[in-house]
Copies of this chain bind each other. A is one copy, B any other.
Amino acid sequence: MKNYKLTIAYDGTRYRGWQSQGNTEQTIQGKLQALFSRLAGRETEVHGSGRTDAGVHARGQVANVKLDTAMTCQELKEYCNHYLPEDIGILDVTEAPERFHARLNAKTKCYVYRIWNSSEPCIFERRYVTRIPQPLDAEAMERAAGYLTGTHDFRSFCGLRRFKKSTVRTIYSIDIRRIGQELRITYVGNGFLNLMVRILTGTLVEVGLGQRPPESMPEVLAALDRDAAGKTMPPTGLCLEYVTY
């Protein structure tokens, strides 16, 4: 039995998120588990680095799966890509140490939130951006982001109100940049709570629209209350870029 580390890309548009939900197969984990279970001839679990929500994309999700197969990593990758739907792809398969676990061993994660900040139509990338036609003050957003980086209790930015475990996380960097008509926000951290990136982005967008001052961020953090932060942004603009170990 070998432990394989998989790097996975998917267009989340058609899916109800990463996490398998009983019988429904319209999840990324469900599609992968069905594939590997068929290959292994027994129920096979795939462990992701974390869940992505319905509609969220990934360019570098990581998962591990234990399999007994004579295939090489390259053959396994080709086998998967042959049978997976065209909106899920395996970018890389490597053999990992027996104890490697994609979620428990994850060190940093990078998420990108893409805002189409223009009233111009966005035809070809429309499934991968969220549209905000009003002008956004990127400089104010950057100042706000400065308060949010570092180690904090992010309870105000957690989508689960009764979350029992620690809500302390470290954000190493929040990069905000314009690329043509797009405003792209890149988050790197040691882990993110439920909906955290979308709530962070919603709060930064409210700063960018002049609805909150950047200097109010410490209060928002200190409130430890979801109601103190901004709206949850839609999943469309969000993508899990990579996970490091």
**Residues from chain B with Cβ under 8 Å of A81 in the complex:** 119, 121
Q: Are B78 and A121 in contact (CB under 8 A)?
A: no
**Residues from chain B with Cβ under 8 Å of A88 in the complex:** 121, 123
Query: In the bound complex, how far is the Cα of B123 from the Cα of A84, in angstroms?
Result: 11
Whether A126 sits at the interface, judged by CB under 8 Å, is yes
Whether A9 sits at the interface, judged by CB under 8 Å, is yes
Query: In the bound complex, how far is the Cα of B84 from the Cα of A123, in angstroms?
Result: 11
**Residues from chain B with Cβ under 8 Å of A121 in the complex:** 9, 81, 84, 86, 88-91
Q: Measured between C-beta atoms, what is the minimum distance from A42 to chain B in Å?
A: 26
**Residues from chain B with Cβ under 8 Å of A78 in the complex:** 119
Could you tell me how many residues of chain A have their Cβ less than 8 Å away from some Cβ of chain B? Answer: 22
Q: Are A126 and B86 in contact (CB under 8 A)?
A: yes
Residue of B nearest to A239 (CB): B124
Query: In the bound complex, how far is the Cα of B96 from the Cα of A7, in angstroms?
Result: 52
Query: In the bound complex, how far is the Cα of B122 from the Cα of A84, in angstroms?
Result: 12
Whether A36 sits at the interface, judged by CB under 8 Å, is no
**Residues from chain B with Cβ under 8 Å of A10 in the complex:** 123
**Residues from chain B with Cβ under 8 Å of A122 in the complex:** 89
Which of A78, A84, A120, A123 gathers most chain B CB within 10 Å? A123
Other contacts beyond A11-B123, A78-B119, A89-B122: 6, CB < 8 A: A9-B121, A57-B124, A59-B124, A81-B121, A89-B123, A124-B128
